[in-house]
Structure 1
């Protein structure tokens, strides 16, 4: 019988309340399945929290800002865990969200369509 591990929903909830401007801008496009897939924000995923997660397609979108610049080794561990558990990760710089939101949204939509077609 598999063991059940509780998710850290308290931490996830606090992360959802501490939204960065880039997360807020991108969420305006990801919410309500506007790109053809349902995304959730700040979801516990193993020992990590995904900025945005589409469970159906095992797609994680990570926005990289200052905290990722300070400790890049954490991203290496996160990426390894995600790959080991068959998640596709799109890493997007906060600056790209602010400078070219349409391009970011187009890239995410293309990845959603690619993953859906490969199923």
Structure 2
């Protein structure tokens, strides 16, 4: 899948930087588990897309991960509208509550891994190089 760049409002860039510098507790917890390709794919934090900023985003899979705190209980319509606009651009969502991240990070990570495994396309993994450049690949 190509790394499609989705446009964003340039004024959100600085806001995203501030959010990265001041993450919530649950964002810190999840980030320590998914950073540096820990799940085999690269995530970025606080990514501007269109008129919005998503908590975590994987460009390869068009995957946004949102951690919903108590404020989201009051913004249901706003969140639905936001998600629909982003889904129209091909973005897919996984949503978790603060409580899920705090109390059951293993299940959260398993849900993300499952999505990644089900979404990965054949051939996404580059072939292993042949030893000595002879054109033959070692058995897997």
How far residue 5 of structure 1 moved from its aligned partner, in angstroms, is 5.6
Matches within 5 A, 1:21-100: 21-100=25-104
Secondary structure of the structure 2 residue equivalent to 1:25: helix
- Give the total of aligned pairs: 117
Structure whose residues are more often helix by fraction = 1
Q: Tell me, which stretches of 5 or more residues in structure 1 are unaligned?
A: none
Partners of 1:44 and 1:63 in 2: CA distance: 16
Q: TM-score, normalising length from structure 1? A: 0.90
Q: TM-score, normalising length from structure 2? A: 0.77
CA shift digits 1:34-66 (9 cap, x unpaired): 001100000001111010000011000000002
Q: Which structure has the higher relative contact order (CA within 8 Å, separation 6+)?
A: 1
